[in-house]
Amino acid sequence: KQEVTQIPAALSVPEGENLVLNCSFTDSAIYNLQWFRQDPGKGLTSLLLIQSSQREQTSGRLNASLDKSSGRSTLYIAASQPGDSATYLCAVTVRWGKFQFGAGTQVVVTP
Amino acid sequence: SQTIHQWPATLVQPVGSPLSLECTVEGTSNPNLYWYRQAAGRGLQLLFYSVGIGQISSEVPQNLSASRPQDRQFILSSKKLLLSDSGFYLCASGQGTYEQYFGPGTRLTVT
């Protein structure tokens, strides 16, 4: 069974520092990997989707890498801002229409 | 992109009462639809998914049921709520192995 792990569970950084968030999965047979942001009491907002054939995706200050063979993905957020404070979740598509989520990393960016 | 609507946003119900949560989707047709539950500090637990009208798959045995009366409508129900049904319920929409979109969620408190 696919297991998705996100370490650390919580992270606090001063404003301006780069954020590095990790996601690992046990089975490399995935279709894609998606990163989400969740604000307290809200739904999930999709940030980036990386197809299994890709190694990275970029959107503005966000960059996500994918290494299928080692079962890892990393989300980089450059020059963090207090507005980046949120919980970040990763999810892998394990088979058609089915997704497995990590528990998330709670990020606090202090001014 | 897709827009997911959920209501109500919050709900407080006594133990033993019935439940009906509704989810509707705009901006797509024939989506896969999902109900997730999120407990505090934990990842998302898939409850039900549907690949079409009247087609429901349950991921975990529980006190809940789901129905899909229309292509873009997904309903989560219970005849008698338990305390353990409390949580944050999220509806999501997706197409095959592609990106998932989430609704704003419903906070359910069973008292």
Which residues, listed in sequence order, are joined to residue A32 by a DSSP beta bridge? Answer: A51
- Classify strands A32-38 and A86-95 as parallel, antiparallel or unpaired: antiparallel
Query: Cβ separation of B102 and A36 shorter than 8 Å?
Result: yes
Reference A73, options A35, A19, A18; nearest CA is A35
Query: Cβ separation of B100 and A46 shorter than 8 Å?
Result: yes
Annotate B41-71 with DSSP letters as a single string: TS-EEEEEEEEETTEEEESS--S-EEEEEET
How distant is the Cα of B101 from the closest Cα of chain A, in angstroms?
7
How distant is the Cα of B17 from the closest Cα of chain A, in angstroms?
24
pLDDT in tens, A31-88: 899 999 999 989 999 999 999 999 999 999 999 999 999 999 999 999 999 999 999 9
Mean pLDDT of B7-32: 95
pLDDT computed for residue B41 by the predictor: 67
pLDDT in tens, B71-96: 999 999 999 999 999 999 999 998 76
- Classify strands B32-38 and B44-52 as parallel, antiparallel or unpaired: antiparallel
pLDDT in tens, B23-66: 999 998 899 999 999 987 677 989 999 999 999 999 886 789 99
Is the pLDDT at B97 greater than 70, yes or no? Answer: no
CB proximity A31 to B under 8 Å? yes
Query: Cβ separation of A36 and B104 shorter than 8 Å?
Result: no
Residue of chain A minimizing CA distance to B50:
A97
Q: Which residue has the tokens 């929409």?
A: B93
| pLDDT, chain B, mean | 92
pLDDT in tens, A80-97: 999 999 999 999 988 777
Q: Buried b vs exposed e over B44-70: b needs ≥16 C-beta within 10 Å?
A: bebbbbbeeeeebeeeeeeebebbbee
Q: How confident is the model at residue B107 (pLDDT cuts 50, 70, 90)?
A: very high
Q: Which of A34, A96, A102 sits opposite B100 (nearest CB)?
A: A34
Annotate A12-75 with DSSP letters as a single string: EEETTSPEEEEEEES----SEEEEEEE-TTS-EEEEEEEETT-SEEEETTEEEEEETTTTEEEE
**Interchain CB contacts (distance < 8 Å): A and B:** 57
Query: Cβ separation of A43 and B103 shorter than 8 Å?
Result: yes
A37 contacts in chain B (CB < 8 Å): none
pLDDT computed for residue B109 by the predictor: 96
Query: Cβ separation of B104 and A34 shorter than 8 Å?
Result: no
Alpha carbon B107 to its chain centroid, in Å, reads 11
Q: What are the backbone dihedrals phi and psi of residue A91, each rounded to the nearest 5 degrees, phi first? A: -145, 140
